[in-house]
Amino acid sequence: MSQQLTPTARGPERIHAVPVRYPGRWVSALVVLVLAAMAGHALVTNRKFAWPTVWKYLFTMPVLRGVAWTIGLTISAMVIAIVLAVLLAVMRDSANPVMRWVAWGYIWFFRGTPVYTQLVFWGLIAVIFPKMSLGIPFGPQFWSISTKEVFTAAVAALVGLALNEAAYLSEIVRAGLESVDHGQHEAARALGMKEGPILRRIVLPQAMRVIVPPTGNETISMLKTTSLVLAVPFNLELQFATTAIGNRTFQPVPLLIVACLWYLLMTSVFMVGQHYLERYYGRGFEPHGPAPTRPSRRALRQEAINAAHTTPEYGGVDDQGHIIAGGMGRPNGGRV
């Protein structure tokens, strides 16, 4: 039975909810805004950036051709590297010691030497081996061809990038394969499946959840590593195209900005693709239910009021002299 109060009685005392102050957030935000304003002012007012020149050459044919070659080299090198990486990862876990040591030696060599040095080597491959031949070792040759006809600058650049990247991707693939429970492999073998179908249909689809994120990062890194193929030399990719225009017009800075803008655009597109791939291969591993969201400040204040069993406002007095509470967790108020 609720307690009867006269109209002149005082209502429940209001709670004074004071939000927590975070001065550090305001200070850090102010510092970031000041630095951003300084950087923006320098970009706009410094004539050395020559923004009209940037817009002039941003969509010229040599630059667009360089963008196309950069994307083509990136995708082709990554496809070859992924195939080699899967093969190397399987060899690393093979029961055959020869396969294990061959894979380990490959990874040791290509991870232990700079990619620029490797590209220089592939650029000189026609000098080191003038001819490519097929025949019996230490015996007669059945077929031969000039190495220059096979290893053009584009092929040398592609091979150099792919072989180097395969060494890094192989460790990523191996980590993904080891993340799959070994019971999956044993269960598939108990059903009579061969090793190839087990890897292709059971293990790899589950390992992709672990493999895709770092592989996406390696793809973005490969996009920028293509700027090193000048060592081959290969002179059709984006970095060389913009550098050549800058040297010819004596305006290297605006052409570097052109290259940066295109690299940022291509990287952004690749990041979007990586996001959708991660979401696709992550199906079935998400936590059940909607993702938890941070409650608003008003919700936190109301929760504190309800926990204190008080009300933020005085609801008045009804006809019978009962004080009406305007809160305390009641949807439409209530009588005390």
Residue-level pLDDT at 304? 67
Residue-level pLDDT at 197? 85
CATH number at residue 156: 1.10.3720.10
Residue-level pLDDT at 317? 46
Q: Are 188 and 331 in a shared domain?
A: no
C-alpha dihedral, 72 to 78 to 80 to 83, nearest 10°: -150
Q: Are 119 and 219 in a shared domain?
A: yes
Residue-level pLDDT at 294? 66
pLDDT in tens, 289-312: 455 566 666 776 667 666 665 554
Q: Are 233 and 301 in a shared domain?
A: no
Q: Tell me which of 202 and 58 has the higher pLDDT.
A: 58
Picking from 110, 107, 225, 115, the residue whose alpha carbon sits closest to that of residue 174 is 107
Q: Are 314 and 222 in a shared domain?
A: no
Residue-level pLDDT at 302? 67
Residue-level pLDDT at 335? 44
For residue 328, pLDDT beyond 60: no
For residue 279, pLDDT beyond 80: yes
Mean pLDDT of the chain: 83
Mean pLDDT of 228-246: 91
Residue 331 forms part of a structural domain: yes
**Which of the four pLDDT bands, split at 50, 70 and 90, describes residue 4?**
low
Residue-level pLDDT at 242? 94
pLDDT in tens, 64-115: 999 999 999 999 999 999 999 999 999 998 888 999 999 999 999 999 999 9
Burial 160-192 (b: 16+ CB within 10 A, else e): bbbbbbbbbbbbbbbebbeebeeeebeebeeee
Residue-level pLDDT at 24? 86
Distant-in-sequence, close-in-space partners of 264: CB < 8 Å, separation ≥ 6: none
Q: Are 305 and 233 in a shared domain?
A: no
Distance of alpha carbon 287 from alpha carbon 8, whole angstroms: 55
Q: Are 221 and 315 in a shared domain?
A: no
Residue 318 forms part of a structural domain: yes
Contact 251, 50 (CB under 8 A): yes
Q: Are 94 and 224 in a shared domain?
A: yes
Residue 213 forms part of a structural domain: yes
pLDDT in tens, 106-158: 999 999 999 999 999 999 998 888 888 787 777 777 788 888 888 899 999 99
Q: Are 187 and 326 in a shared domain?
A: no
Q: Are 311 and 175 in a shared domain?
A: no
Residue 7 forms part of a structural domain: no
**CA distances in angstroms from 148 to 80, 81, 117, 160, 322, listed in the order given:** 22, 23, 20, 16, 100
Distance of alpha carbon 263 from alpha carbon 260, whole angstroms: 5
Domain boundary at 195, 218, 237, which?
Answer: 237
Picking from 242, 175, 164, 186, the residue whose alpha carbon sits closest to that of residue 210 is 175
Mean pLDDT of 193-219: 88
Q: Are 109 and 223 in a shared domain?
A: yes
Contact 77, 165 (CB under 8 A): yes
For residue 207, pLDDT beyond 90: no
Residue 6 forms part of a structural domain: no
Residue 96 forms part of a structural domain: yes
Q: Are 104 and 231 in a shared domain?
A: yes
Domain boundary at 237, 272, 289, which?
Answer: 237
Residue 314 forms part of a structural domain: yes
Number of domain units in the chain? 2
Q: Are 318 and 175 in a shared domain?
A: no
The span from the first CA to the last CA of the chain, in angstroms, equals: 9
Residue 228 forms part of a structural domain: yes
> Which domain does 148 fall in, by range?
69-237
Mean pLDDT of 304-323: 53
**pTM here?**
0.74
Which three-class secondary structure state does DSSP give residue 311?
coil
pLDDT in tens, 30-63: 999 999 999 998 888 888 888 999 999 999 999 9
Q: Are strands 323-325 and 334-335 parallel, antiparallel or unpaired?
A: antiparallel
Residue-level pLDDT at 316? 47
Domain boundary at 211, 237, 263, which?
Answer: 237
